[in-house]
Chain A
Amino acid sequence: MFLLVPIVIISIFSFSAKQGLVDISASWVLDNYIRAFDPVYLSVFFKSMGIAGLTTSICFLIGFPLAIGIASAPKSWKPILLMIVVLPFWVNLLIRTYALIAVFRTRGFFNFSLEWVANLLGIPFEPLILLYNDAAVILGLVYIHLPFMILPLYAGFEGFNKSLLEAASDLGARQFKIMTAVVLPIMAPSIISGCILVFIPALGSFLTPELLGGPSSQMIANVIERQFLAANDWPFGSALSMTLIYLTFGALALRYFWLRRRYFGSKENRP
């Protein structure tokens, strides 16, 4: 109910037209959607998807070995390692993001450390500009979303029958083949869950690009926020929101169909 009502309101708004400062008339027009596919906004969509995609990939590359590591750690270590993974959730997102700023700003801890090393080695030091660009946004997103990747992957590896690895090895497969022919296909549902858990919130993230990004690293959520507040154009903001929701549903639908084909369909005959 609390989810559905706002979505219905927003979707009605998205087909409406603005009249005056506060009035919105439900006039059932597609103008807002046509405008949403304007190259300016389309490029923001693509950029957001690019950033979210890159974030997802980096989270996967970091999270996959970490998840294997946690799953194969001694029993007594597992709760501690998992605790370290979820510990950041105990701190508010805003505070964590400000903490990142404190670390990476021009006169932040990271630059201080570099300066200290440079002084030690006698190299002239120029502080690095690390914040307010796309890389900073991606770094922030990876930092925030990494647990969402690690946890489903870890759960997947926990349930992974280790004797399958031995069986594959026994049948003559090398490490690489074991990974591609056995581990990845069996882990695919966990990998997809992890990727979706990272991709969807990363795609709609607002705070991180707002605080860590530069003028050009706006993501779609920032544009939407501006339509609602600064531009006071609720119908257009709603249209952009709905488009984002459709994209998200698209990603979820892809996962659903993929899983269904894999576990219930597949009557194909292979030679």
Chain B
Amino acid sequence: MGARDRKTMNRSIVQLKGISKNYGTLEAIKEIDLDIFEGEFFSIIGPSGCGKTTLLRVLAGFEIPDSGSLYIENINMQNVPPNKRSINMVFQSYALFPHMNVLDNVAFGLKVDGVARDEQARRVKSMLSLVKLSGLENRLPQQLSGGQLQRVALARALIKKPQVLLLDEPLSALDAKLRNEMRQELIRLQKNLGITFILITHDQQEALSMADRIAVMNEGTIQQVASPSDLYEFPSNKFVADFIGSINFIGCQLSEIDGDVFKVITRISKDAFTVEGNNSLRIGQDCWLGIRPEKINFEDADVVNSHHNKLSGVVKNITYFGQASMYHVEVTGEKTATINVMENHSQRSRHTTNKVGDSVVLCWSIESSSLFTS
């Protein structure tokens, strides 16, 4: 994931300063500050109702924020209506004009701008070949497949050469295979055109695999803005850790601080763990130790590693995925908790390493877990 090179980008193209928007008593977004850089593939992700769609609509100009200001290319957008912004949008349902064929749909933005006819024809032709739709000019939207509709919507938005392209859950209506194809397609388009893409999605795989940077939103606020790998490996709070990927949370109490290394006691088994620190915690405070399933190993008698934290339990259930298996390990102490462990099948085998009912010892290194405040 996120194996793409991060470009050196630092010029802000979109700036949000303290943007808030309420619908009646509901605060959709609260005091959002955000800088989006020129030429980056930015993604805004969050559960439904987190305010990401409202944020997108504020950017497009369909919603006027109650407070705060929005700058695009350092120009305040306060009194700029949607049709005057150098931002175009790919709508979730595509919103293609049903009475126009592909050609007229794509040319719409140029027509209303009064671009000369031969220029229109030229640009539409090159745009259609860019999104691989050449030959379908005279089809109506109802005669196109989901993937083709998606491409028309992209072409229609991109033909105006916007500085920023907004994508509202663009892949949610496609089936899994097509979605994968379109992901690659979007990355290719974004790299070729160098336009800033802002992708709204609730699908973390989509965001992780496509974006240069991701903003995670929850309840109207931005929780963290980071690159996909930073977000996954170094989530800044429990919500982000839980929302991106899967993770085990073990309730703990902080017992000792030794420089960067913290010692915590689990509430279930009273085992002690050493963890990389979290500066917002004080000794005696309750906290959560977060550890991702693939970072936990089963202790092997042959490999001895004193740095590893250990926890013993019983395998209750195994879910087989093909490339990996997820073990559900029950840890019993004062209370019972289930820890998920992901084992990659790097070798061919007819059986998983452990079976249901086996007693196992789980271990992980200091660096692979994080501490979160409750």
A residues lining the B interface (CB < 8 Å) = 161, 163-164, 166-174, 177, 181-182, 185-186, 262, 267, 269-271
Contacts and interface: CB of A to CB of B under 8 A. Distances in A.
Nearest to A268: B138
A-B complex: 4 closest residue pairs judged by Cβ atoms: A171-B109, A167-B95, A163-B95, A173-B112
B103 interface: yes
A164 B60 contact: no
Nearest to A162: B95
B288 interface: no
Contacts of A181: 108, 111-112
A177 B97 contact: no
A45 to B, nearest CB: 35
Contacts of A161: 93, 95
Interface of B: 60-62, 81-84, 87-89, 91-93, 95-99, 101, 103-104, 108-109, 111-113, 117, 121, 138, 156-157, 160
Given A164-B97, A186-B98, A186-B99, A173 B83 contact: yes
A174 B82 CA distance: 10
Nearest to A164: B95
Nearest to B138: A269
A174 B81 CA distance: 10
A182 B98 CA distance: 9
Contacts of A169: 62, 81-83
A171 B152 CA distance: 14
A10 B340 CA distance: 84
A163 B93 contact: yes
Given A171-B88, A171-B160, A177-B112, A166 B93 contact: no
Given A161-B93, A269-B138, A172 B113 contact: yes
A198 to B, nearest CB: 23
Given A163-B95, A164-B95, A166-B62, A271 B109 contact: no
A169 B57 CA distance: 12
B83 A172 contact: yes
Given A172-B113, A271-B117, A166 B82 contact: yes
A171 B95 contact: no
Contact of B138 (A164, A170, A173, A267): A267
A261 to B, nearest CB: 12
A167 B91 contact: yes
A262 B97 CA distance: 14
